[in-house]
Structure 1
Amino acid sequence: MTGGELPATRRVLLDALADGPVEGPAIATELDVSRAAVWKHIEALREAGFDVESGEGGYAVTGAPPYNGPGVAFGLDAPYAVEFHDRLDSTNDRARELATSGDGDVVVLAEEQTASRGRLDREWRSPAGGVWLSLAVRPDVPPAHAPAFTLAAAVAVTRACREAGVDARIKWPNDVLVPGPEARGGRKLCGILTEMSGEADRVSWLVVGIGLNANVDPDALPADAAATSLSTELGSDVDRRVLVQRVLEEFEALTTDPAAVMPAWREHAVTLGRHVRVETPGGVIEGEAVDVAFPGTLVVETEDGEVRVTAGDCEHLRPAGS
C-alpha cells in the first residue's frame, strides 16, 4: 500500500494548514510537539506529495498530491478515512475485511484491481486510470432500507460526472451511463456493487463498491460491452482526486437524509418512461417503467397491471408509447 492514510498527527496538521498560513510556534502548541517535530512533519507531508510553502505568515499548503490517499483526504468534506493501494485484488474484499473487524466510515481506493467483479458476476475490468473504490459504512437502518444506499451511490456518481462535464444518467437500479441507442440503455460509465451484513432488524455494515471508468483508455474496456469513460466522452482526462471527493461528499449528504435519495434518483433517471424488460428471479417483467419507490423498487405498468420489482436485470426496449 502506498499513499495510504496519514498518521493522526499529520492529518491534524493538514487540517490546521488548510485554512491558510500558520506559524510554526502555533502549530507546535496545537499539536503539543516541539518546533523541530513540526519541521519533521512538514517534511513528511512534502515527501507524501503536498506542496507546503513557508513564508512570513508561516506554513501553508499550496498544492495536494493528484491522486492518492492523503490527496483525496485533504479538503474532503465528508467524515471518511481513506486507504489507498497501488494494486489490489478487490476493494470490496478489503473493505469487507475492515467492516467485519469493526471499522466504519472508511474508503478503500485502488489504482488497479486484479479480481474485480460487477453485478451478476459480470466481467468488470479495473485498469489504471479508473476510480475503483469501496466505502464501508455502519448505518443504523433495517436491512430492508439497504437498497437506498446503492441508489444514493448512483446519484452521487452521476452528480460528480455531470459536474465534470459528462451527461451522465442512471439506469435502474444503479448503472451510470451516457444515454444512447444501445440495448442496455447507453454507454456504461460506472457499475455499483453493494454487500451487506446484519441482523433481522439492523444492518451491521454495508460495503458499497464503485467502479467508474474515469481516465480509462477505450482499448482497456471490454470489447463486447457498450462501455465508455469520462476521458473518452470529454476528450481529456479528469481530476480523479476532485472526482472522488465529490462522489464521497454527495454520498454522505444523501445518506444523511434518506428522504432525498428517491427524488434525486428520479431527477437523473433514464429508465422512467421507457418500455423495459426486467429479468427477475421469478421471471421476466415487461412494461413501462413509471416510478421508483423507496428503498429502490422499480414500478412497472404491465398489461396485467402494476408490478413492483425489487431486483433484476433491466433492459431498455424503447420509449413508452412508441
Structure 2
Amino acid sequence: MDTRRALLDALADAPVSGPALAAELGVSRAAVWKAVETLRGEGFAVESTPEGYVAPTDPAYCAAGIEFGIDAPYSVEYHDSLPSTNDRARELASEGAADVAVVADEQTGGRGRLDREWVAPSGGVWLSLVTRPTVPPARAPLFTLAAAVATVDACSDVSVDAHIKWPNDVLVGGDEGTEKGDGDAVERPGRGGRKLAGVLTEMEGEADRVSWLVVGVGVNANLDPEVLPADATSLRAEAGGDVDRRRFAATLLERFAALAETADRSDRILAAWRDRASTLGRRVRVETPTGAVEGTAVDVESPGALVIDTDDGTQRVHAGDCEHLRDADG
C-alpha cells in the first residue's frame, strides 16, 4: 500500500503522528510529510495538532475525500472538468490500470446510451470505474445491472426513493412525467418516472474473457431541475437540499464492489436488481434492432435479459430501449 493511502486509512481511525506512521510503514518521516502535502494539494485539508495529523471534519469532494474511509478496493482520480469520464477511464484501461474510479465535477461531452447527449454540469456525480473482472464478455451486462443497483442504494442512503427501469435507468416517481411541447412542459404518461441517473458500460475483450470493463455512472446530484431535461430530476430536488456527494460516491462504489467482487455475483446481482426494479410486472414496449416487443415484463435472467410475455409467447430481450406502458385497465 502506498504511503498516501496508508495515511488516509490511519486518519479514518484517529489522529496519527508522523513518526508512528513512518515506523509502521517502514518509510521516512519525510515520506509521510510528502503524503500529507499531497492530500492537502488534492483538497483534503489535513490538520496538524499536538496529537498528530487529523482528518478534516467535512472532507471535500476530491480524490482523497472519496477514498477516505471507503470500504472498496478502488483508488480515485479526480478532475474538476473532463469531456467524458468514460473516455478518460478507457485511456487508463489501455495503459493497464485496474480498480480506478475516474470522477469529475463536470463533464463537457457526456453521453448516455445510444450516444444520446447527457447533461453533466458541475454539481453532479459523474464517475467511471475501470475494472477487470474474470468473466467472459457475455456476462458483462451483469455489471451494468450491479451499477444500477449500487446507484439506487446510494440514493436510499440520502433518503431518495429511486427504482430501476430496465436495464439501467434510475428513476424517481411513477408513470407520470413531463416533456416539452410548444415551449412549455406538458404532462405525458408512460415513461416510468423522472430520470435521476443512468449507466453506460463499455468493454474490450477476447472470446473467452473480458480484458477491461468501464462502468460509467451519471447522477443528477446537486443540480436544479431547470438545468435538466424536462423529464429529469435531481437528488437536490427530491431530497429538498444538497447531499454529500463525497459520501454518495463512496457508497455507490462500496455497494458495487460488494455485488461485483463475489463468487456468486450472478445470483446476487439479479436478486438485488429484481428487488429494486419497477419494470417487472409492468406492460412494456422494447424497441430492438429487429423491431418492437410488447407485453408484460415478468423477469430478468442472466446476464440481464428481460423476459416478456407477449401475445405470441415468451420472448427474451437482451438489448433495447424500454418504455413502460399504461395497463389496459389503468
TM-score of the aligned structures, taking structure 2 as reference length: 0.90
| Mapped contact 2:3–2:32 kept (Cα < 8 A) | no
**Which residue does 2:195 correspond to in 1?**
188
Correspondence 1:157 to 2:154: no
- Counterpart CA distance in 1 for 2:35 and 2:219 is 34
Out of 211, 221, 234, the residue aligned to residue 204 of structure 1 is 211
- Counterpart CA distance in 1 for 2:18 and 2:113 is 51
| Mapped contact 1:147–1:296 kept (Cα < 8 A) | yes
**Which residue does 2:326 correspond to in 1?**
318
- Counterpart CA distance in 2 for 1:45 and 1:285 is 52
Task: Using the TM superposition, give the Cα deviation of residue 184 of structure 1 relative to its aligned residue in structure 2, in angstroms.
Answer: 1.7
- Counterpart CA distance in 1 for 2:76 and 2:35 is 19
Helix, strand or coil for the counterpart of 2:170?
A: strand
**Which residue does 2:161 correspond to in 1?**
167
**Which residue does 2:109 correspond to in 1?**
115
**Which residue does 2:83 correspond to in 1?**
89
* Post-superposition CA distance 1:197-226 (Å, at most 9, x none): 10111111111111100011212112xx41
Correspondence 1:70 to 2:64: yes
* Post-superposition CA distance 1:15-59 (Å, at most 9, x none): 222221233321221243444554454355345433434555433
- Counterpart CA distance in 2 for 1:39 and 1:85 is 24
| Mapped contact 2:236–2:242 kept (Cα < 8 A) | yes
Out of 110, 124, 133, the residue aligned to residue 118 of structure 2 is 124
Q: Give the 5 Å matches for 1:129-148.
A: 129-148=123-142
Range 118-127 or range 178-187, more displaced: 178-187
Correspondence 1:250 to 2:244: no
Cα 1:40–1:147 change in 2 (3 A) is closer
Letter in 1 for 2:319: A
Helix, strand or coil for the counterpart of 1:290?
A: strand
| Mapped contact 2:44–2:62 kept (Cα < 8 A) | no
Task: Using the TM superposition, give the Cα deviation of residue 234 of structure 1 relative to its aligned residue in structure 2, in angstroms.
Answer: 1.4
Correspondence 1:221 to 2:236: no
- Counterpart CA distance in 1 for 2:31 and 2:270 is 50
Helix, strand or coil for the counterpart of 2:194?
A: strand
Task: Using the TM superposition, give the Cα deviation of residue 62 of structure 1 relative to its aligned residue in structure 2, in angstroms.
Answer: 4.1
Correspondence 1:236 to 2:229: no
Helix, strand or coil for the counterpart of 1:270?
A: coil
Cα 1:56–1:89 change in 2 (3 A) is closer
Range 138-147 or range 30-39, more displaced: 30-39
| Mapped contact 1:273–1:319 kept (Cα < 8 A) | no
Cα 1:44–1:303 change in 2 (3 A) is closer
CA RMSD of aligned residues (A): 1.9
- Counterpart CA distance in 2 for 1:312 and 1:36 is 55
Helix, strand or coil for the counterpart of 1:92?
A: helix
**Which residue does 1:307 correspond to in 2?**
315
Letter in 2 for 1:268: R
The answer for unaligned runs of 5 or more in structure 2 is: 178-189
**Which residue does 1:291 correspond to in 2?**
299
Out of 268, 278, 285, the residue aligned to residue 277 of structure 1 is 285
| Mapped contact 1:51–1:63 kept (Cα < 8 A) | no
| Mapped contact 2:136–2:208 kept (Cα < 8 A) | yes
Range 13-22 or range 90-99, more displaced: 13-22
- Counterpart CA distance in 1 for 2:84 and 2:6 is 30
Letter in 2 for 1:202: R
The answer for unaligned runs of 5 or more in structure 1 is: 1-6
| Mapped contact 1:142–1:202 kept (Cα < 8 A) | yes
| Mapped contact 2:39–2:64 kept (Cα < 8 A) | no
Helix, strand or coil for the counterpart of 1:10?
A: helix
**Which residue does 1:4 correspond to in 2?**
none
Which ranges of 4 or more aligned residues in structure 1 deviate by more than 6 Å?
A: none
Task: Using the TM superposition, give the Cα deviation of residue 13 of structure 1 relative to its aligned residue in structure 2, in angstroms.
Answer: 1.8
Helix, strand or coil for the counterpart of 1:124?
A: coil
Task: Using the TM superposition, give the Cα deviation of residue 83 of structure 1 relative to its aligned residue in structure 2, in angstroms.
Answer: 0.4
Helix, strand or coil for the counterpart of 2:110?
A: coil
